[in-house]
């Protein structure tokens, strides 16, 4: 059985202490996700709010519907949207539906040249590039490369069709390439 499911079952059966394990395991991932869409000053508060929601709804988690990680990222995404809506910042807005017509067969080799990869080794540079991407694209890249989610899981988190997610991924990399091109000598 999945380690997360074991922990959740223990918590539901009355072992409150496993909550600490769950929180310690997912705090870095959720914080990193939140930090991308919320200013550094508010990231701690929003992360805290997300975990309070997770704690309140833990007994409602349905392992047949999604993995625990996907479930908590759905909560994180919704909380970030609510938070930014209050601040009147538009996040995760829908991009054009043309992406639904996206062809699945994308060739990886067209993505980023070695020179660009070399430039991206600088974390601050990468983070500044990510800031320039549309929120949807940035989300897909973060969930795919940092959280190592599959496109299927990302489509569950963002509630978008699988092809749209693949399209976002492709376009995100293309945009990254365009942005980075003038910087690559």
> Applying CB under 8 A, which residues contact other proteins?
16-17, 19-20, 23-24, 27-28, 31-32, 35-36, 43-44, 47-48, 51-52, 55, 108-109, 111-112, 117, 120-121, 123, 126-127, 130, 141-142, 145-146, 148
With respect to other proteins, which residue has the nearer C-beta, 3 or 159? 3
Min dist CB 71 to other proteins, Å, is 17
Helix (H) or strand (E) holding 167: helix 162-180
Q: Which is nearer to other proteins, 32 or 67 (CB)?
A: 32
Q: Which is nearer to other proteins, 85 or 125 (CB)?
A: 125
Q: Is the dihedral angle over the CA atoms 144, 75, 93, 100 positive or is it negative? A: positive
In angstroms, give the least distance from the CB of 97 to other proteins. 27
- Closest approach, Cβ 59 to other proteins, in A, equals 14
What whole-number distance in Å separates Cα of residue 165 and Cα of residue 4?
26
User: Nearest to residue 116, comparing CAs of 176, 26, 35?
Assistant: 176
- Name the region of 88 (left: φ>0; alpha: ψ -120 to 50; beta: rest): left
Shortest distance (Å) from residue 153 CB to other proteins: 15
- Report the chain's terminal Cα–Cα distance, integer Å: 50
- 65 three-class SS: coil
Shortest Å distance, C-beta 64 to other proteins: 26
Count of CA atoms in the C-beta half-sphere (13 A) of 32: 14
Nearer to other proteins, 25 or 63 (CB): 25
Q: Which is nearer to other proteins, 74 or 120 (CB)?
A: 120
Whole-angstrom distance, CA of residue 66 vs CA of residue 70: 6
């Amino acid at each position: 059985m999945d380690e997360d499911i074991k922990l959740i079952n223990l918590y539901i059966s009355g072992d409150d202490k496993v909550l600490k394990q769950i929180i310690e395991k997912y705090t870095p991932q959720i914080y990193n996700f939140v930090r991308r869409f919320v200013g550094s000053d508010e990231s701690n508060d929003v992360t805290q709010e997300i975990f309070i929601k997770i704690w309140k709804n833990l007994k409602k988690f349905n392992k047949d519907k999604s993995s625990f990680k996907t479930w908590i990222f759905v909560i994180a995404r919704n909380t970030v949207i609510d938070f930014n809506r209050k601040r009147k910042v538009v996040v995760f807005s829908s991009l054009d539906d043309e992406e639904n017509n996206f062809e699945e067969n994308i060739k990886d080799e067209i993505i980023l040249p070695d020179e660009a990869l070399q430039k991206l080794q600088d974390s601050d540079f990468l983070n500044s590039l990510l800031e320039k991407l549309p929120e949807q694209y940035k989300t897909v890249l973060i969930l795919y490369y940092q959280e190592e989610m599959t496109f299927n899981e990302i489509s569950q988190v963002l509630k978008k069709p699988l092809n749209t997610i693949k399209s976002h991924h492709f376009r995100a990399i293309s945009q990254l390439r365009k942005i980075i091109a003038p910087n690559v000598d």
